[in-house]
Structure 1
Amino acid sequence: MACSPTSSRESSPASTPEPTRGTKRTQIDLELTKSGRQKAQKSCPLVGVGKHLARTVDMFHNPIAILKFGLEYDEDSEATYSTDDQRKYASFTSILLMDLDVEEKIYHPDTTAAMVKAIGKEIYEGQKSARLEDTHKLKRAVIDWLGDDVQPHISRTRKEGRGFNHSATAVQLCPAELPYSEEICIQLREGKCEIDGEPVSGLDWPVFVFAGRYNPHRPLEGLFQGNFLLKGYKMIFIAPSAVDSDGNDSRATRAGNAALHNMTHVTPASIAYVATQVYFALSSQTIFKKDNVVTDSMRFYNGILDFFDNPKFAVCAKEILAWWDMQIFPQTTQRTTNGKPKGTLARMAARLVDMTIQSDEA
């Protein structure tokens, strides 16, 4: 049920041709092409599902738990489930859509709990791999985005000098509602800072998620349109070479994550994912943990999802997603406006309406 790196044919001794007299064949030889290059390792499709799940749907829920919950979900009791449960079930349905074989396997009458767990484990490996890959990418990149004149110098490979230990990163991580100062920075570093009598947490969004200066009179202005956020999204979903380009132009020779999965729209979870990754990259924390008290990653991530799920902010959320689609998928966005046809299709539709009216009048 779970994937293996090689097929049974490739691993079977009987399928390996005998070496000719006078030659030596080693196991290493079998892993190289005729030109001496290492053969590309076969990747389990479920690992790819896990990577896409982490980046666009669910960064933290363990896929094993997601599959178990989905199989036990009672639609008749939907109203009794918590927000977290509903998101977990949404992740379950997303997994089934990403790989139709998963649905067939987990609902097969001969499938055991152990088999379902094995599938979930493969997806988890992909989820974990995506987080590690993107953490590594952004670790160096965010320092470049701060500019060349940052003093004192910040290492691109070490984390200790970041976070609230350096003014350049501290000003990005400071909650946008607070007026940044050295005193505030010290309080944040020591975990003693409060907003409205409550300790600062992952629910207090930092400066970098906003475009420009935070406006307390118009708090939704520029929300989730920050430059670091946009650069991070392009790096993860398009290519590093697309970071400073308009739209999704890049010089990459390999398809990026968005192209690999045929993405045409930005999802709220993908914005939350990138924001969480950028936050960690700017911080001084060396190990990514969802329950770290400094970065408070899980609460930060879920807080962003809460915004997009809140009916009170539905209009603003729709505008933010439309803005993101224009930045990341301009070709798709320009082809349609609010779902209305454009170009030849629009003229054909208009002509069809005219013909219908003329027919009715005749």
Structure 2
Amino acid sequence: MNPSREPIYLDHNATTPLLPEVVDAMVPYLREHFGNPSSAHVYGRRAKAAVDRARAQVAALLGAAAEELFFVAHGTEANNLAIRGVLAALPDKRHVVTSVIEHPATTEPCRELEKHGGRVTWLPVDGEGRVRVSEVGAALRSDTALVTLMHSNNETGVLQPIAEVAREARARGVLMHTDAAQSVGKLPVSVEGLGVDLLTVVGHKFGAPKGVGALYVRKGTPLRPLLLGAGHERGLRPGTENVASIVGLGVACEVALRTVETESARVRGLRDELWERLRARVPGLALNGHPVERLPNTLNVRFLGVSGSALLAAAPEVAASTGSACHAGEESASSVLTAMGIEPGAALGSVRLSLGRTTTHEDVVAAADALASAWARLARG
């Protein structure tokens, strides 16, 4: 690796660089437009107008009404508000349906429900990482408050059949939430197309800053706030708005609305080229997840005979991740991959390569060469 060059960044599912348009839009609200949106004077009105504009931009990307969008600090808050807020609003319904491959921002609120006497049905996934719609229907009960499933998995990129699940849930009078942190901005996402009642948006996954997100709440959905305070965000999420970051989120949504189809096609082509280049040089390389129903930017692959962490350490030219956990120096297999039926020892050889707007053809060629060469060195011992 040339020490003067930064590693090739293939970890866009972890976070993304700020879009230049986002930075430009935020700067005035970090400098001169410092007002509190709740203030009645001109400084406050300017800030409130910026927040209102951003709300409309987020809503436009999702095909929602502006009044159905509520700004939060991050995806964890949005998921907690969706799950715990629905349960608080429906105290007679103490059952939630989710899957075994959700993000901790979903699994932990569900485990908390179990600790307090509620029930959770943990749906399995098939070998390609997808839940079965029939099993969702079978899990619904008279006391089911909510089905919550991620739209796309952060490790494998696999897309869940959210629209089909939502039809099952809503036909039974059950609310439907999807954590769309990984999919919004990477492929077209419509709340009407998915048929959901609640949807999580996370800004830093598609060019907006960290520390800002949104929760879509379909009009009429019963939801109680988690925090108590003043009447910000129409009383659902009190706390003075993070104006500059909200402005950035709005602009990122505006850019995505304009470019998401062409950009997703471009990145999908690069992702598939990366897969073909790796497969040509690494015998036994395997794809983790559905070959088609996944994010256009995500490639999760399994290398034979090496651990993913050792491979990435041997290829410092590439910045990527494994998806597995390391505790006290001992690496453990990804729970997402083992839930798909992949043997733990084999799962340890997995690497997640997630591309983005900054990824070029030259990056793909160089990354494939670095990873294949590192694997060959490790395989030789």
Common fold by TM > 0.5:
no
Greater strand share, structure number: 2
Tell me the TM-score normalized by structure 1. Answer: 0.25
TM-score (norm 2): 0.25
| Higher RCO structure (Cα 8 Å, ≥6 apart) | 2
Higher Cα radius of gyration: 1
Report the structure, 1 or 2, having the larger helix content: 1
